[in-house]
Structure 1
Amino acid sequence: MNTYPIKFRPILKEKIWGGEKLSQILNKKSKSKNVGESWEISGVDENISIVTNGLYKGKSLNELITMFKGDFMGQANISIFGENFPLLIKFLDAKTNLSVQVHPDDKMAKTHHNSFGKTEMWYIMDSDKDAEIVLGLKNDKINSEVLGDINASNVNAIFNTEKVSQGDSYFIPAGKIHAIGAGVLAAEIQQTSDITYRVYDWDRIDDNGQQRELHTELAQKATKISTSNGKSDYRLEHNRTSNLVDCDFFTTNIFEVQGPQKRDYKGLDSFVIYMCVEGSAEIIVNNYSEFISIGETVLIPANCIDVIFNAQGAKILEIYIDPNDAKSKKLAS
């Protein structure tokens, strides 16, 4: 295939908890006041990403996988995932709290939904003063049985909360209770799955005067007790990558571009995704130049050998699947 930095059309999702930061800060084209998510790269049914630049403009993500297979995805990814794109890449804006929720692991998701599970991570791009996230239960004396009896009077005694600020990064494995709190703008990397078990929704009422459905029984089965808050301990260094997450399902690094920088992928059998979380940068692949600014995402096909960056102070998330780490199993047909 002809390899270049591929951009896709963002799929914007209005949410009851959404706001205007995706348009105001990340320049997403929407006049809505409650856009909660921008799906940057998606292989989820009925939400398939479409290319917006270069030779493959107008092609869908699925078409590229079918046409080019290992050259696009990586041979190991094709052998594990078939023609299912394994990651869902998003930006999220929480004007108000998201529901407290939990996601199933691969085994439970396969049994109940014939789907992959949902392990994810967040990188905090912006946060209001004193903004918080929910991460896990308050302590190890609380078990999942309490999830069936949560209300405004006891919620603060059940869930662990963490104050966040720009640059914080958190790993949320499947089975961990979590929620992004009001005032947080984040990049999210996750397995391709849209399965969420809602545990508590802050007694919120929708436009029809109804509370949103809770999934208490499934949430109780999915919840796993975790002692770590999952916060990444990293130091940002000019023109060097720092690892944020390295798990069975994806690897995410961050690097700051100061001047020209070359990334070498000769030994990697995977596509690479870049999410710009600050500033802007020029990306050059095979003499094809593309620019990426804060809030934009590009995909580099797996047959790429190297990538050249030019920028002054851009911060980039680098995402790929290391075949040595990927332990997800191909779904049965």
Structure 2
Amino acid sequence: MEIMKLVPVGKERLWGGSRLKKEFGKNFDIDCLGESWECSVHPDGECLIANGFFKGQTLSRVLKIKPEYIGTKSSGCFPILAKYIDAKQSLSVQVHPDDEYAKINEHDNGKTEMWYVLDADKDAFLVYGFVHPVNEDILHKAVLDKTLNKHLQKIPVKKGDVYYIPAGTVHGIGAGILLAEIQESSNVTYRVYDYDRQDKQGNKRELHFEEAIKVMNMEVSKDVSQGVRLVNYYPGCSRQIICRCKYFDVEKVEASRGFDFSVLETSFQLLMCFEGCGEVWIDNDFGEHWINDNYADIMSLSDNGKENTFRINFSKGDTLFIPAAAGRCHLRGKCQLLKVRC
């Protein structure tokens, strides 16, 4: 069983910038790089495998061959999409549907997500819900009159902040924010307002007001202030759970030397390194056999079946996929990363 380094998918966006290229080594031939999809099996952007036995294959194909790599907690479908976002300009004010609505109307999953703020300009802010209850008439008039801002809750942000955005919450990432996003595997977005921006052809982007009204929460948003999060300190690292919901668990790890961890049969794990570098490996029994590309031939990874290890180096900007049931893993290095599982 191998740890797989993923090849991300770049997305050009009107509001994108250059920080993902300059700081994270995302060498896409894209002028305004807004998103780097780090782990995705979504048909709108599928990640490839960069190393090992499955090198060159899409992650989605690997998981069709080896569905057990997803884990027993998910019902055969890969549940998440992980990305980095560089908002040089503000994103649209938008909302995502829940699973029930999306599956019926969009033939896709809903989209609940969380953000970990990697960096933010001094006066940067997020849009998160409404400051008072609204209704369809109020919102429709506000969009037409371009006065929607007065109804929206603006939250100042700084490096290290975490926000959980359940489906149905009106939201927007403000200018000058760099963040990591963990979400359901979905690409359904309903734009409510887009600052009257125009694309390269001079066209305004499509809005989806009628769809948005059907799925958004129009009540006052719940308090999203940051509570104190428990940090667990171990020899060589600190670890803290920063988000836990029905779709994913996200842990921030800061390693000064390294740490050991287990990957159980319940879920795969992702390691998203956003600072530093290191190496990671699994305690493996090489007597295992793997299915190759044509689904028929069997290839043995060892002649003697003795226990051995695979090691893979990583650095800032790399994302690693560790299959479910990998067992005991070891990481050594000085780095900061998000560790994601379902």
8 Å Cα contact 2:94-2:170 kept in structure 1: yes
Q: CA RMSD in A?
A: 1.8
8 Å Cα contact 1:275-1:316 kept in structure 2: yes
User: Please, which of 155, 162, 186 is the counterpart of residue 155 of structure 2?
Assistant: 162
Distance in 1 between residues matched to 2:138 and 2:239, nearest whole Å: 41
Q: CA deviation at 1:59?
A: 1.6
Alignment-derived partner of residue 274 in structure 1: 271
User: Please, which of 312, 319, 327 is the counterpart of residue 340 of structure 2?
Assistant: 319
Alignment-derived partner of residue 227 in structure 1: 222
Residues 102-125 of structure 1: CA deviation (Å, up to 9, x unaligned)? 000011112211221000011111
Of stretches 287-296 and 298-307 in structure 1, the one that deviates more from structure 2 is: 287-296
Structure 1 stretches of 4+ moved >6 Å: none
Alignment-derived partner of residue 146 in structure 1: 138
8 Å Cα contact 1:241-1:253 kept in structure 2: yes
1:1-333 paired onto structure 2 within 5 Å: 3-70=1-68, 72-77=69-74, 80=75, 82=76, 84-139=77-132, 141-151=133-143, 154-224=147-217, 225=219, 226-229=221-224, 231=226, 233-238=228-233, 239-266=237-264, 269-286=266-283, 287-312=309-334, 314-321=335-342
Residues 225-268 of structure 1: CA deviation (Å, up to 9, x unaligned)? 331327464255542421111111111111111213101234x5
Aligned residues: 311
Residue type at the aligned position of 2:49? V
Compute the TM-score of the two structures, normalised by the length of structure 1: 0.88
Distance in 1 between residues matched to 2:230 and 2:120, nearest whole Å: 20
* Bigger-Rg structure (1/2): 2
Distance in 1 between residues matched to 2:336 and 2:83, nearest whole Å: 17
Change (3 A) 1:76 1:235: closer
Of stretches 233-242 and 195-204 in structure 1, the one that deviates more from structure 2 is: 233-242
8 Å Cα contact 2:280-2:312 kept in structure 1: yes
Residues 259-280 of structure 1: CA deviation (Å, up to 9, x unaligned)? 13101234x5100011112222
Q: CA deviation at 1:204?
A: 1.1
8 Å Cα contact 2:94-2:172 kept in structure 1: yes
**In structure 1, the residue corresponding to 2:183 is in which secondary structure?**
strand
Residue type at the aligned position of 2:337? I
Compute the TM-score of the two structures, normalised by the length of structure 2: 0.86
By percentage of residues, which structure has more strand?
Answer: 2
Distance in 2 between residues matched to 1:159 and 1:42, nearest whole Å: 31
**In structure 2, the residue corresponding to 1:76 is in which secondary structure?**
coil
Structure 1: give runs of 5+ residues left out of the alignment: 322-333
Distance in 2 between residues matched to 1:309 and 1:294, nearest whole Å: 15
Change (3 A) 1:111 1:123: same
Change (3 A) 1:160 1:234: same
Residues 58-79 of structure 1: CA deviation (Å, up to 9, x unaligned)? 1211221121111x111232xx
**In structure 2, the residue corresponding to 1:214 is in which secondary structure?**
coil
8 Å Cα contact 2:272-2:320 kept in structure 1: yes
Residues 275-309 of structure 1: CA deviation (Å, up to 9, x unaligned)? 11222222122321112222221110002112111
8 Å Cα contact 2:139-2:148 kept in structure 1: no
Give the percent of matched residue pairs that are identical in Structure 1 and Structure 2: 36
